Amino acid sequence: GGGGVSWCHAPWCGNAPKKHHVTKIDRESNPWWAIMEDTLGGMGRTLTPEIFPAGTDSRFLRALGIPCFGFSPLSNSPVLLHEHNEYVHETVFIEGISVYEQLLPALLDSDVGVGIPAADEEPSAKRAKA
């Protein structure tokens, strides 16, 4: 045919998704987002949402109704994913570690999600907090 670009899923992955499932990022409906905004805001940083279609496996989780999103602490860096000479400046990498040192405890110490049954659990099942 006439050239151009096309894509398809690997046959072992089943049918290609026909619907894009989106995770809400407002504070009222997504407490994880609120924790991230608060923690990063306390560090003088701002979350900047971007669409990264078909780039992570989280699209399969969202299709199951599990809210999720990706996160990268690499600020002020060119997007070089899978490019020739892909790199991250050392200072940006080190700053990213300090972001995770603040963000992960904030997310892990919250009670968000406690008591919400997994998709295959009965609603009355209790979840243990680690």
Burial 100-129 (b: 16+ CB within 10 A, else e): eeebeeeeeeeeeeeeeeeeeeeeeeeeee
Task: Give the tens place of pLDDT for each residue, 60-104.
Answer: 888 888 888 888 898 888 877 778 888 899 999 999 999 999 999
User: How far is residue 66 from each of residues 34, 61, 117, measured CA to CA in Å?
Assistant: 17, 5, 11
The pTM of this model reads 0.67
Residue 4's pLDDT band, with cuts at 50, 70 and 90, is low
For 16-108, the fitting CATH number among 2.60.120.260, 1.10.150.900, 1.10.3720.10, 3.40.50.12780 is: 1.10.150.900
Cα–Cα distance for residue pair 101/120, rounded to 1 Å: 32
How far is the C-alpha of 22 from the C-alpha of 65, rounded, in Å?
Answer: 9
Kindly report the number of other CB atoms within 10 A of residue 40's CB atom.
19
Counting residues of the chain whose pLDDT is more than 90, the rounded percentage is 25
